[in-house]
């Protein structure tokens, strides 16, 4: 199948940062599936040609190449709705909405311009049908098993976290450290900085406990009182609901033990306490960290079960197969 993937080549279009999530997980997964895939770096083209020039270049490429399907991963307002509608005369279109649980108006506005669109919300298809949009496809995050994999390395860290800095995440990590547990932290705006893809996978494998911490600002009174910055961040944040994130699948895809915040839909993907560890709040997080550090056999059992579930159900190859079947592009 000929597939054009319109996404950013680098994270947030910043050439100084790693290749984007879509490049590693969408582009590479589709190539591994045997499809003929071309990546259209719309942010790079936007910087070089301007908005109108980038949109016209995309339209011209679709008209020339005639891909079976064109996949979009939107950011803000880089695309012209009229151009996106024109593309549908030459290709099927599918747009990924990764954050429609909180970017509700944005997602609903753009959804009507595509043949199909995705939602990571377990109940998203029903919610869109209620407003007259029937072409939503349940498509939670997943993992590229060729990247996120087991490594034959020893456990080097008790607890680790990989992800962008957020004041709530910093507050949670400091609570764990004050309990006497060391935490290795890497990511954008943390003192250690970002690690590359290979380094992240190694860190997952080398950690006894991998944390998955929410970046939705918390109403916990202790957090709000911890600093003026915490209170200001809470008041400014548009994120008022938790959501499924990629890290839940990536850590498990490495056969590593994960302790994550709970979110609706998680129990649909993993058997809680058997395939993934969950904490309820800040106090429970500290207690669960201490408990699981003392339970090596239980940790390994949960990690192994989560790994098998991920390979069976949650690779991006499986996600794309189901989406393409729903779109009528492949047989059942």
Domain that holds residue 222: 157-313
Q: What is the 3-state secondary structure (H, E, C) of 80-94?
A: CHHHHHHHCCCCEEE
pLDDT at position 331, please? 67
- What CATH number is given to the structural domain containing 125? 3.40.50.11930
Same domain, 291 and 201: yes
Whether the CB-CB separation of 323 and 118 falls below 8 Å is answered with yes
Lowest mean pLDDT among 32-36, 141-145, 230-234: 230-234
Examine residue 7 and state whether it is found in any structural domain, yes or no: yes
Same domain, 223 and 121: no
Q: How many domains does the chain have?
A: 2
- In tens, the pLDDT along 260-285 reads 999 999 999 999 999 999 999 999 99
- Return d(Cα 114, Cα 105) in angstroms, integer: 16
232 pLDDT above the threshold of 90: no
- Return d(Cα 265, Cα 308) in angstroms, integer: 19
Other Cβ atoms closer than 10 A to 176: 21
Examine residue 331 and state whether it is found in any structural domain, yes or no: no
Q: Which DSSP letter does residue 330 get?
A: S
Same domain, 106 and 26: yes
Q: Is 262 exposed, middle or buried (0-12, 13-18, 19+ CB in 10 A)?
A: middle
Examine residue 147 and state whether it is found in any structural domain, yes or no: no
- In tens, the pLDDT along 102-116 reads 899 999 999 999 999
- The mean predicted confidence, pLDDT, of the chain is 93
Name the pairing type of β-strands 258-261 and 207-212. parallel
- In tens, the pLDDT along 115-150 reads 999 999 999 999 999 999 999 999 999 999 999 999
Same domain, 200 and 309: yes
């Amino acid at each position: 199948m000929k597939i054009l993937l319109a996404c950013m080549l680098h994270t947030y279009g910043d050439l100084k940062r790693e290749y984007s999530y879509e490049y590693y997980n969408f582009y590479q997964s589709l190539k591994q599936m045997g499809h003929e895939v071309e990546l259209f770096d719309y942010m790079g083209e936007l910087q070089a040609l301007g908005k109108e020039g980038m949109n016209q270049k995309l339209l011209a490429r679709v008209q020339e190449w005639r891909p079976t399907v064109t996949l979009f991963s939107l950011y803000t307002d880089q695309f012209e709705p009229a151009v996106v509608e024109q593309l549908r005369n030459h290709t099927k279109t599918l747009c990924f909405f990764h954050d429609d649980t909180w970017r509700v108006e944005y997602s609903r506005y753009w959804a009507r311009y595509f043949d199909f669109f995705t939602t990571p919300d377990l109940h998203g298809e029903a919610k869109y049908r209620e407003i007259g949009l029937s072409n939503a496809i349940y498509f939670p995050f997943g993992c590229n098993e060729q990247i996120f994999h087991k490594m034959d390395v020893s456990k080097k860290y008790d607890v680790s976290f990989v992800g962008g800095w957020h004041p709530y995440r910093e507050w949670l990590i400091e609570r764990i450290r004050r309990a006497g547990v060391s935490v290795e932290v890497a990511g954008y705006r943390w003192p250690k900085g970002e690690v590359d893809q290979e380094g992240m996978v190694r860190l997952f494998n080398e950690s006894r406990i991998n944390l998955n911490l929410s970046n939705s600002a918390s109403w916990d009174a202790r957090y709000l009182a911890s600093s003026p910055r915490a209170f200001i961040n809470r008041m400014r944040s548009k994120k008022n609901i938790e959501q499924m994130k990629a890290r839940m699948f990536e850590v498990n895809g490495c056969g590593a033990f994960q302790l994550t915040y709970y979110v609706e839909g998680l129990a649909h993907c993993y058997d809680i306490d058997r395939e993934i560890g969950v904490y309820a709040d800040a106090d429970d997080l500290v207690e669960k960290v201490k408990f699981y550090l003392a339970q090596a056999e239980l940790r390994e059992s949960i990690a192994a079960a989560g790994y098998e579930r991920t390979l069976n159900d949650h690779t991006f190859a499986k996600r794309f197969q189901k989406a393409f079947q729903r779109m009528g592009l492949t047989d059942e």
